[in-house]
A and B are shown apart, each in its own frame.
Chain A
Amino acid sequence: DGGITQSPKYLFRKEGQNVTLSCEQNLNHDAMYWYRQDPGQGLRLIYYSQIVNDFQKGDIAEGYSVSREKKESFPLTVTSAQKNPTAFYLCASSGTGGDSGNYGYTFGSGTRLTVV
C-alpha cells in the first residue's frame, strides 16, 4: 500500500545537538511538507518542496533545514539554533495543481521530538 513513513516515532535530543527526522513516501507525489504541532495547537508549516532539488521556507523555518535530493524523501534537520524544538512533527505529501485540490494531503504518523 502507498503511504508516508516517518521515523523514528520518538526521538530524544540533547541540548546543542542536531537531529534529523526521516520522511519517505511511495505515492509518487511531487510535493512534500513539514509541519510542527505543539500540544493543543494547530499545525504550523516549516518547509515545503514542490519538486526535487527545490524547497521553500514556511512560516517557522528558523532553526530547521531540509533537503530534497529524491522525489520520495524529504528529511528535516532540527538544528541547535532551534531554541524550543520539543514538539510533534508531521510530514505530508500531495500531488500538484488539481491533484491536491481533489485529494488533499496525505500525512505520516508523526515523530515526537523531546529535548532532554
Chain B
Amino acid sequence: GNSVTQMEGPVTLSEEAFLTINCTYTATGYPSLFWYVQYPGEGLQLLLKATKADDKGSNKGFEATYRKETTSFHLEKGSVQVSDSAVYFCALITGFQKLVFGTGTRLLVSP
C-alpha cells in the first residue's frame, strides 16, 4: 500500500538557518505529492504540491522537488523565520485513493 515516511522532529533551528525536512514515499502508480503546514491550534493548510516527476512545488520561500528515482519529496527553505514554526506534513495521493499523510515534523525556530 501507499505510505509516507518523514524525519522525526522536533527540528530546532535559529532564525535565517537553512531548513530541510526529509520525506520519502512508497506508492503504486504515479502519486501526487503535497506538503501541508499546521500552525498551533489551527487546521492544515496546503503549502505546496507536485503532480509529476521532476516537478518543483514552491510557496512562501519553501520548495520541494518530486524525485521519482529516489521516491523523495524533501522540503527546503533557504532562510527560516520564527513565524515558520509549525508542524509540517508530507502527503501523497494516487488515482482514486485517499490522501496518505506522514506523521508530521515539528519545526521550532528561535530568534
* Cα distance, A12 to B94, chains bound together (Å): 38
B residues near A107, Cβ cutoff 8 Å: 36, 43-45
Contact of A42 (CB < 8 Å), options: B41, B93, B98, B102: B102
User: Using a CB-CB cutoff of 8 Å, which residues 73-111 of chain B contact chain A?
Assistant: 89, 91, 93-96, 98-99, 101-104, 106
Report yes or no: A97 in contact with B32, Cβ–Cβ below 8 A: no
* Cα distance, A95 to B56, chains bound together (Å): 23
Report yes or no: B96 in contact with A90, Cβ–Cβ below 8 A: no
Report yes or no: A104 in contact with B49, Cβ–Cβ below 8 A: yes
Would you call the interface of chain A mostly helix, strand, loop, or mixed? mixed
Report yes or no: A43 in contact with B43, Cβ–Cβ below 8 A: no
B17 within 8 A of A: no
A45 within 8 A of B: yes
Report yes or no: B96 in contact with A104, Cβ–Cβ below 8 A: no
User: Using a CB-CB cutoff of 8 Å, which residues 41-96 of chain A contact chain B?
Assistant: 41-43, 45, 48, 90, 92, 94, 96
Number of interface residues of A (CB under 8 A): 25
Report yes or no: B91 in contact with A110, Cβ–Cβ below 8 A: no
A17 within 8 A of B: no
Contact of A48 (CB < 8 Å), options: B51, B89, B93, B98: B98
* Cα distance, A97 to B32, chains bound together (Å): 12
B residues near A110, Cβ cutoff 8 Å: 41-43
* Cα distance, A92 to B31, chains bound together (Å): 20
Report yes or no: A108 in contact with B43, Cβ–Cβ below 8 A: yes
Top 5 A-B pairs ranked by shortest CB distance?
A: A107-B43, A42-B103, A101-B32, A107-B44, A109-B43
Where the two chains meet, the residues of A that have a C-beta atom closer than 8 Å to any C-beta of B are: 6, 33, 40-43, 45, 48, 90, 92, 94, 96-97, 100-110, 112
